[in-house]
């Protein structure tokens, strides 16, 4: 990891978070790759997939009035910039703030997102710089944050529902979170035929972290109500032009629409966070676009590339890491880190804990497997000396510190992810699936004589740097 990844920008701006995306990109310029050469929309996805750092395209051939960014939170060293803290502070800070009450939202009359307003015949969201993500998809695919409102509580729910624009003012929306479906059912029970929805492009990454929390809050608060809590600042919202919702005043773009609640439409190829194409056609509701508002000066389209290992896998799990940090700590274990690695396809979690006494690691593993908002089927516990950012080091711990007869827990027939190819479809309950889960204790175990085995490293390892001797 380059030194710039952990120092500079955000480290100097602690507790002074930027209220908009372009401010965040400027503050964290030391880790942002800026592409100024002309880039075709057809090449955007392949270029994004090759970047480990946040990436910003300044010159898109087919969309000269727009910019595009991606990969803002792929790694822990970039995730920490979202909260303006160090890497070690990121998870404890997020975990602690999620315990606080919802801060709520501040309504204002206008903001930068209202600099350009398009309604009626001027609405055309196919002119946004929306890329085609994979080689088998025929249509551009929007992965932006959206906002809907609970009709009973008034709370604002946000999530990332994949959306396919089909015409200038029509598209299909794929909701996967239980909270979103619960809100939709409330509208239907009230006899409503449509539901207002706003697609929000270009906000600081902390918004997106919170938008992907699908915990047990349900009717206690909405995700948008907690954004200010985890950022420790007020979040300004402005009224929409054509629907009864408010949206972030400092966003880059907002697309307003009404979701049809009366029927579903079949749609073909889609990509799961597990990095596979889904085998079945989805049945999706249609959205009717009513307005587009945006910044006047080269608005930034926020993309979330779906494959191979990108923000698309990371974002839905960051709040889950924080909640598991809290729950495992409550067991009595010292927790150093919790990680859903991108290379685990959003189906596995690694917890880094200090061994306490027999039985407690198993409790932690079962907590991970049984968490009601997760479909995690492989849970691995490691010691503090294992590098969670290095798959080879995690595998080494599993290979050398696991007695399969004593350190493995297998639980059959549990809730599986709808995106897991290995899970068995649950007949009569599409798209739900069943799968077995496995917990692996790969921690060092001194009580078994493990203390006599110390890791060996070259002399000067971590101190002598090869790059210092290169021309």
Q: Is the dihedral of CA 314, 155, 91, 95 positive or negative?
A: negative
User: How many CB atoms sit inside 10 A of residue 357's CB?
Assistant: 9
Q: d(Cα 314, Cα 305) in Å, to the nearest integer?
A: 11
Q: Are 162 and 145 in contact (CB under 8 A)?
A: no
Listed in sequence order, the residues at least 6 apart from 359 whose beta carbon sits closer than 8 Å to its beta carbon are: none
Nearest to 255 by CA among 70, 117, 129, 161: 117
Q: d(Cα 438, Cα 102) in Å, to the nearest integer?
A: 35
User: Beta strand 348-354 with 378-382: parallel, antiparallel or unpaired?
Assistant: parallel
Which domains, from first to last, does the chain contain?
3-313 (2.30.110.10), 332-447 (3.40.1670.10)
> Around 391, how many Cα atoms within 13 Å sit in the side-chain half-sphere?
7
Q: Are 322 and 89 in contact (CB under 8 A)?
A: no
Q: What is the pLDDT along the chain (471 residues), one digit of tens a residue?
A: 333 344 444 444 455 799 999 999 999 999 999 999 999 999 999 999 999 999 999 999 999 999 999 999 999 999 999 999 999 999 999 999 999 999 989 999 999 999 999 999 999 999 999 999 988 888 999 999 999 999 999 999 999 988 999 999 999 999 877 788 889 999 999 999 999 999 999 999 999 999 878 666 667 788 999 999 999 999 999 999 999 999 999 999 999 999 999 999 988 766 766 667 766 678 899 999 999 999 999 999 999 998 888 888 888 889 999 999 999 999 999 999 999 988 887 789 999 999 888 899 999 999 999 887 777 899 999 999 999 989 999 999 999 999 999 999 999 999 888 778 888 888 888 778 899 999 999 999 877 766 667 788 899 988 999 999 998
Query: What is the DSSP secondary structure assignment for residue 353, as one 8-state letter?
Result: E
Question: Residue with structure tokens 């025929």?
Answer: 138
Q: Are 248 and 223 in contact (CB under 8 A)?
A: no
């Amino acid at each position: 990891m380059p030194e710039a990844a952990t120092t500079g920008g955000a480290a100097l701006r602690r507790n002074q978070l930027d209220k908009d995306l372009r401010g965040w990109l400027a503050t964290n310029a030391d880790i942002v790759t800026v592409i100024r050469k002309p880039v075709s929309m057809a090449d955007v996805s392949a270029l994004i997939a090759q970047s480990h750092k946040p990436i910003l395209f300044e010159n898109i051939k087919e969309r000269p009035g727009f910019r595009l960014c991606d990969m803002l939170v792929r790694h822990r060293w970039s995730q920490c910039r979202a909260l303006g803290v160090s890497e070690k502070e990121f998870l404890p800070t997020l975990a602690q703030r999620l315990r606080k009450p919802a801060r709520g939202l501040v309504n204002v009359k206008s903001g930068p997102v209202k600099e350009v307003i398009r309604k009626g015949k001027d609405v055309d969201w196919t002119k946004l710089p929306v890329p085609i993500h994979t080689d088998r998809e025929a249509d551009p695919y929007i992965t932006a944050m959206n906002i809907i409102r609970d009709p009973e509580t008034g709370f604002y729910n946000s999530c990332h529902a994949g959306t396919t624009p089909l015409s200038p003012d029509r598209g299909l929306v794929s909701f996967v979170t239980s909270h979103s479906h619960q809100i939709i059912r409330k509208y239907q029970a009230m006899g409503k035929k449509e539901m207002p929805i706003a697609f929000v492009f270009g906000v600081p990454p902390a918004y997106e972290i919170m938008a992907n929390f699908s915990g047990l809050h349900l009717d206690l608060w909405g995700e948008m109500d907690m954004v200010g809590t985890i950022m420790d600042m007020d979040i300004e919202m402005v009224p929409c032009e054509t629907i009864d919702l408010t949206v972030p005043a400092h966003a880059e773009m907002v697309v307003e629409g009404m979701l049809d609640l009366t029927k579903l439409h079949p749609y073909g190829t889609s990509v799961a966070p597990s990095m596979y194409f889904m085998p079945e056609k989805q049945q999706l509701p249609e959205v009717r676009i009513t307005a587009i508002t945006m910044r006047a000066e080269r608005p930034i389209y926020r993309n979330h590339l779906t494959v191979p290992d990108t923000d698309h896998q990371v974002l839905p799990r960051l709040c889950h890491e924080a909640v598991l940090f809290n729950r495992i700590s409550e067991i009595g274990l010292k927790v150093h880190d919790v990680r859903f690695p991108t290379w685990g396809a959003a189906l596995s979690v690694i917890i880094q804990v200090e061994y306490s006494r027999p039985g407690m690691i198993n409790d932690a593993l079962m907590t991970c497997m049984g968490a009601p908002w997760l479909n995690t089927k492989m849970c691995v516990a490691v010691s503090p000396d294992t590098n969670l950012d290095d798959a080879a080091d995690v595998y080494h711990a599993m290979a050398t510190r696991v007695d399969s007869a004593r350190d493995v827990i297998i639980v059959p027939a549990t809730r599986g992810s709808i995106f897991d190819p290995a899970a068995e479809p649950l007949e009569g309950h599409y798209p739900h699936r069943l799968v077995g889960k496995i917990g692996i204790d790969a921690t060092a175990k001194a009580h078994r004589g493990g203390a006599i085995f110390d890791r060996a490293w070259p002399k000067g390892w971590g101190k002598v740097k090869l790059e210092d001797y290169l021309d």
